[in-house]
Each structure stands twice: as C-alpha cells, then as structure tokens.
C-alpha cells in the first residue's frame, strides 16, 4: 500500500471490489491490487487487514497510503 499512489485491497469474487477496480480502469488510473483470498479462503488475512485499517469491508482504497474508504465513497 505504501509503495503505490493508489492501492485497492480486496478479495476475489467480490462484485464490489470488481466495481472499484473497473471504475479506476475507466478513469485511466494506475493502481496496485492486493487480493486476499475468496469467500472460502484467506479469512485470517482479511481479518488482519480489517483490524489494521479499522475499516470493516472490502474494497479498501488507499491513496498515497491513506485509506479513503471503499467503493461507495468515490466511485
């Protein structure tokens, strides 16, 4: 997250994560995607991310290392 201007943290198979990524693609913005499993795997990693960020859902969109929210906050 710290090494990229825009980073999207999410999980596979989540339609809201896909929507956020699609919006960034449509805007022509480069971003790094950090995926943490799917609905059936990666739960512990996702929980650790949620506890670290203090944000309860995915996607988590970071700009220059600062969490700006999820998909609804700007996409």
- Rounded Cα distance between 55 and 52, Å, is 8
Which of 12-16, 27-31, 52-56: highest mean pLDDT?
A: 27-31
Question: Locate tokens 């991310």: which residue?
Answer: 49
User: What CA–CA distance (Å, rounded) separates 42 from 2?
Assistant: 22
- Mean residue pLDDT of the chain comes to 89
pTM score, whole prediction: 0.85
pLDDT recorded at residue 74: 54
């Amino acid at each position: 997250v710290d090494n990229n201007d825009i980073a999207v943290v999410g999980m596979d198979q989540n339609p809201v994560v896909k929507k956020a990524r699609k919006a960034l693609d449509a805007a022509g913005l480069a971003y790094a995607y950090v995926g943490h499993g799917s609905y059936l795997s990666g739960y512990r990693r996702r929980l650790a991310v949620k506890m670290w960020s203090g944000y309860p859902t995915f996607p988590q969109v970071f700009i220059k290392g600062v969490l700006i929210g999820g998909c609804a906050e700007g996409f």
